[in-house]
A and B are shown apart, each in its own frame.
Chain A
Amino acid sequence: MTPLPPVPAPQKLSASTRLGIFLLALVVIVGCLFLIFPSDRIVTPDWVPAIKSELRAALTVVSPYLGVALLSMIVAIAELASTFPTYPREALRTRWARVLILVNVGAAFLALIIARVTMPSVNPVLLVIGVGVGFQAIIRTRFVLARAMGGPEGSDDEVSLNLGWLYEQFQHLCRTQIDLELMKNRRTAVIHLLQTYPTIAELYDIAYYTIIARATLTPEEERARVEQLQTLIDPKAPEQFARNSMALTILENGGPAYVELLLSQAMGGGETAAAPSRASQEELVWQLINNYSLDGLVDLTHKLSDDPKVREWVSQAAAANQDTVEATQKASIAYFLLQQVGQRKVQQALDEQAKRPSAPANSPPDA
C-alpha cells in the first residue's frame, strides 16, 4: 500500500479573518456601550453628546439597510444549506456561495432604496420587514394569472408572470459552480478513504453502518440506500467502481466531519483509536500468506498452539482439496491462527522468522 498522505485538517478561519471578526465585534460592543452610556447624569466632555447624536442619526440611516442585509443573508444561507445538506459548512465557504449571498444583499439594498424613494412616508420598520421578506419572496415567485379549467399546474395553457426566472437561472449557476468547487474536496476524501480502507469488506461495513446509524432517514429511505449499496457489492459491478461508490456513499451519508473522524481513527489518533484494527490484522494475514507455505503454516500452528482441536482443524484445512485453492487455504489458516492464538504471538513468530538469516525449506518467502 502506498504511504498515506496526511489527513487534511478541517478548514478553519484564517487568523486575519478571525482578527477582523473580533475587531468588528469590539467596535459594535463599544459603540452600543457608548450610545447607552448616560452622559446627561455624569460630567462628560462637550463632544460626547454631539458625537452621540451624530452616531444615532447615522444609525437611523444605516440600520434599515443592515436589517434587510441580515434578512437576505439568512434567506441565502438557508437556501444553500438546504441545497447542500451534507456539506452546508463547506458549501458556505465556497467563492460562489459568497457571490450568491452578496447578490442577495445587493438586490435587497436596491429594493430598499427604491421603496424608500417611492414610499417615503411608510414606517421604516415595516419597510424593512416588507422589503427583507417580501422582496425575497417576490424574486422567487411565479405568478399564474390564468389557467385553463381543469388544466394541470405548469401546463402550456397557463398565462403566468415568472418573476423568479432570472433568479432561478442565477441560482442554478451558483449551485453548479459550488458543486464543482466541492468536487475537489469530495474526491480527496474518497481517495483518503480508499487508501485507509482498501478492502471492499471494510468499505461496505462502514457504508452500511453509516446508513443505518443516520437518525433522520425514514425506514423507506434507509431501505432504498441499503439496496443501492447492495448493488455495488454485486459481482456485476466493476471492482474499482464499487470501491469508489462505497467510499462516496460513506461521504454522502456521513459528511466530511465523519470521514475525518474515520481517517483519524484508522491512523490511531486520539482517544478514539480502536483496539487491534482490522487493517493491522489483514497486514499480519498477508505476511503469513507471503512468508509461509501451507506446511509452514501447519508447523507454525503446532509451535504456537497446544490445543489439539486447533491443530487438527489447521491440518485438515491444509490438506489437498478440489473445492478450494491454496490462496484460500492459506488465508483461512492465517485468520484462524490470529483468532486462536492472538495477534501478539503471531507477530512475535513473524519477527523471529524475519531475524533468521535464511528461511527454512518449508516456509519460503513468496513475496
Chain B
Amino acid sequence: MKKIQLEDKELQVLQTLEERGAMSPSQVSASTWLLPGETLTVLKSLSTEGLVLLRNDTYSPDGMVVTITQNARSYLSYTSTSIRRKKE
C-alpha cells in the first residue's frame, strides 16, 4: 500500500466520514468543529490523495456531497490495527 502521511485534521475528517457515511462538507464541518473554509481545504487535499470523493449535489444545502473511498477505509483499518499492535 502507498505510504500516506495524514495530518490530525485530515484523519479526523476521514474518521467522521467513515463513522457517519456520506455527508455534505457543511455536516463534516459541524461534526468535526473545523471551520467551513478549513474543512473545504482539508477535503480538497484528501480528494487529491484519492481518499475522499467530492461531488456536486443540488439537493444538498451547500450544493456538495463527500464520501470516503475504499482506499481510505483500508487505510483507516490498517492504521487502527497498527496502533492496537503498538499498544499491545
Which residues from chain A sit less than 8 Å from chain B, CB to CB? 198-202, 204-205, 208, 223, 226-227, 230, 233-235, 237, 239, 242, 282, 285-286, 289, 313, 316-317, 321-324, 327-336, 338-339
Closest 3 CB pairs of A and B: A323-B37, A331-B26, A335-B30
Across the interface, do A339 and B70 meet the contact criterion of CB distance under 8 Å?
no
- Tell me the smallest distance from the CB of B13 to a CB of chain A, in Å: 13
Select one of B27, B37, B63 contacting A335, CB under 8 A.
Answer: B27
Across the interface, do B22 and A313 meet the contact criterion of CB distance under 8 Å?
no
Is B69 located at the chain interface by the 8 A CB criterion? yes
Across the interface, do A329 and B36 meet the contact criterion of CB distance under 8 Å?
yes
- Tell me the smallest distance from the CB of B23 to a CB of chain A, in Å: 5
Please give 18 more A-B residue pairs, beta carbons under 8 A apart, in addition to A199-B65, A200-B57, A332-B39.
A199-B60, A200-B22, A201-B57, A233-B53, A239-B55, A323-B36, A323-B37, A323-B41, A327-B63, A328-B29, A329-B36, A331-B61, A332-B36, A333-B30, A334-B61, A335-B24, A335-B61, A336-B30
A-side binding surface: helix, strand, loop or mixed? Answer: helix
Complex interface: chain B residues within 8 A of A329 (CB): 36
A234 to B63 alpha-carbon distance, docked (Å): 15
Across the interface, do A234 and B36 meet the contact criterion of CB distance under 8 Å?
no
Complex interface: chain B residues within 8 A of A324 (CB): 36-37, 40
- Tell me the smallest distance from the CB of B34 to a CB of chain A, in Å: 9
Count of chain A to chain B residue pairs whose CB atoms are closer than 8 Å in the complex = 115
Give B31-72 as 1s and 0s: 1 = Cβ < 8 Å from A's Cβ atoms: 101011111110000000000011111111111110101100
Across the interface, do B31 and A235 meet the contact criterion of CB distance under 8 Å?
no
Across the interface, do A234 and B55 meet the contact criterion of CB distance under 8 Å?
yes
Complex interface: chain B residues within 8 A of A286 (CB): 61
Give the residue name and chain of the A residue nearest to B71 (CB): A230
Number of interface residues of B (CB under 8 A): 34
Across the interface, do B59 and A332 meet the contact criterion of CB distance under 8 Å?
no
Sampled A-B contacts (22; CB under 8 Å): A199-B24, A200-B55, A200-B59, A208-B21, A230-B67, A233-B22, A234-B53, A234-B55, A235-B55, A239-B58, A317-B36, A321-B35, A323-B38, A324-B36, A324-B40, A328-B29, A328-B64, A332-B25, A332-B30, A334-B26, A334-B61, A338-B30
- Tell me the smallest distance from the CB of A110 to a CB of chain B, in Å: 55
Give the residue name and chain of the A residue nearest to B61 (CB): A331
Most B CB contacts (10 A, CB to CB) among A226, A242, A336 go to A336
- Tell me the smallest distance from the CB of B18 to a CB of chain A, in Å: 11
Give the residue name and chain of the A residue nearest to B33 (CB): A313
A204 to B52 alpha-carbon distance, docked (Å): 13
Across the interface, do A205 and B70 meet the contact criterion of CB distance under 8 Å?
no
Give the residue name and chain of the B residue nearest to A194 (CB): B59
Give the residue name and chain of the A residue nearest to B26 (CB): A331
Select one of A223, A327, A339 contacting B61, CB under 8 A.
Answer: A327
Select one of B41, B53, B70 contacting A223, CB under 8 A.
Answer: B70
- Tell me the smallest distance from the CB of A295 to a CB of chain B, in Å: 16
Select one of A204, A233, A321, A334 contacting B37, CB under 8 A.
Answer: A321
- Tell me the smallest distance from the CB of B39 to a CB of chain A, in Å: 7
A190 to B77 alpha-carbon distance, docked (Å): 34
Select one of A201, A239, A242, A317 contacting B23, CB under 8 A.
Answer: A201
A235-B59 contact, Cβ under 8 Å, with A322-B37, A329-B36, A332-B26: no
Select one of A198, A201, A204, A321 contacting B36, CB under 8 A.
Answer: A321
Complex interface: chain A residues within 8 A of B22 (CB): 200-202, 204-205, 208, 233
A229 to B37 alpha-carbon distance, docked (Å): 28
Across the interface, do A323 and B40 meet the contact criterion of CB distance under 8 Å?
yes
Complex interface: chain B residues within 8 A of A282 (CB): 61
A286 to B59 alpha-carbon distance, docked (Å): 10
Across the interface, do B61 and A289 meet the contact criterion of CB distance under 8 Å?
yes
Across the interface, do B70 and A317 meet the contact criterion of CB distance under 8 Å?
no
A332 to B24 alpha-carbon distance, docked (Å): 9
Complex interface: chain A residues within 8 A of B64 (CB): 328
A338 to B30 alpha-carbon distance, docked (Å): 9
A338 to B24 alpha-carbon distance, docked (Å): 15
Most B CB contacts (10 A, CB to CB) among A227, A242, A335, A339 go to A335
- Tell me the smallest distance from the CB of A351 to a CB of chain B, in Å: 20
A199-B59 contact, Cβ under 8 Å, with A204-B67, A205-B21, A230-B69: yes
